[in-house]
């Protein structure tokens, strides 16, 4: 029992030292390689603590090896941008001046829903107010807002009516619109519904459309259910 207590104390102090060596960043701010090392550290540290018959060095040696590996990777990364990009990845632009970047959404395996929820979490419920949105290598969603030329008298809540080329029928009905009305509006811009990555409508009838391979734009339409959302 005393041996197990001593082993547990030594391993815990060693893991604490290694985590401090890796930096003070939170889990959500870790780069992919740092996150993997943290997961392995937790698993390796448990082995000698859980089994009194496993020698202490079976835990110490892997922990020290992992810590030095992290230090070496970070050192090389500071010297070589190409190596750092290979290990950590690069920032990816998800929204630019033309709207949602379809090819980058596929590259990052993100859906329009993922982008909307990330933007909403950052306080941006309306995609039309975003100039640029970037997914960082550590998974953080960064937003650069468009400059505000004027302040609206009443905040307007955008209601998604097309996502990934498919209509949100409940929202279309909620807005008091029809699919035929949407198709007609898109035809005016030489678009089909399946060509649209994202489209929303506001209570005043203003629509924001982000096609898959064309610049985003705004238009006006008639809504009869603006008071319902």
With helix as H, strand as E and coil as C, how does the chain read? CHHHHHHHHHHHHHHHHHHHHHCCCCHHHCCHHHHHHHHHHHHHHHHHHHCCCCCCHHHHHHHHHHHHHHHHHHHHHHHCHHHHHHHHCCCEEEEECCEECHHHHHHCCCCHHHHHHHHHHCCCCCHHHEEEEEECCCCCEEEEECCCCCCCCCCCCCEEEEECCEECHHHHHHCCCCHHHHHHHHHCCCCCHHHEEEEEECCCCEEEEEECCCCCEEEECCCCCHHHC
Which sign does the torsion angle of CA 15, 16, 21, 26 carry?
Answer: positive
What is the fold, at CATH topology level, of the domain defined by 92-228? CRO Repressor (3.30.240)
- Listed by start position, the domains of the chain span 2-87, 92-228
pLDDT for the residue 86: 82
pLDDT reported for residue 73: 86
Measured in degrees and rounded to the nearest 5, phi and psi for residue 151 equal -100, 120
pLDDT of residue 153: 56
pLDDT the model gives residue 152: 53
In this structure, what token pair is assigned to residue 22? 């890796």
The pLDDT score that the predictor gives to residue 87 is 80
pLDDT value at residue 175 = 94
pLDDT on residue 49:
78
What's residue 45's pLDDT? 83
Across the chain, which has 229 residues, the per-10-residue mean pLDDT values are 75 77 60 79 82 82 86 87 82 94 92 93 92 89 83 74 94 94 96 96 95 95 84
pLDDT score recorded for residue 151:
52
Residue 3: predicted pLDDT: 73
Residues belonging to the chain: 229
Spatial CA neighbour of 89 closest among 34, 18, 166: 34
pLDDT the model gives residue 150? 55
Gap between the Cα atoms of 71 and 125, Å rounded: 40
pLDDT at 32: 73
């Amino acid at each position: 029992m005393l041996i197990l207590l001593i082993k547990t104390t030594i391993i815990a102090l060693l893991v604490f030292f290694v985590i401090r060596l890796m930096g003070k960043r939170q889990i959500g701010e870790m780069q992919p390689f740092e996150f993997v090392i943290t997961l392995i550290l937790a698993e390796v540290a448990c082995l000698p603590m859980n089994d009194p018959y496993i020698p202490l060095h079976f835990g110490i040696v892997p922990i020290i090896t992992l810590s030095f590996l992290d230090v070496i990777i970070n050192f090389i990364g500071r010297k070589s941008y190409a190596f750092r990009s290979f290990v950590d990845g690069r920032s990816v632009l998800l929204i630019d001046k033309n709207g949602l970047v379809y090819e980058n959404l596929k590259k990052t395996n993100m859906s329009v829903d993922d982008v909307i929820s990330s933007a909403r979490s950052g306080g941006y419920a309306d995609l039309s107010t975003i100039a640029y949105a970037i997914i960082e290598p550590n998974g953080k969603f960064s937003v650069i807002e468009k400059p505000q030329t004027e302040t609206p008298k009443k905040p307007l809540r955008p209601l998604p009516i097309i996502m990934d080329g498919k209509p949100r029928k409940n929202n279309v009905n909620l807005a008091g619109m029809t699919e035929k009305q949407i198709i007609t509006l898109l035809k005016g811009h030489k678009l089909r519904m399946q060509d649209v990555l994202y489209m929303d409508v506001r209570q005043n009838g203003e629509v924001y459309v982000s096609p898959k391979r064309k610049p985003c734009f705004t238009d006006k339409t008639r809504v009869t259910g603006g008071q319902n959302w």
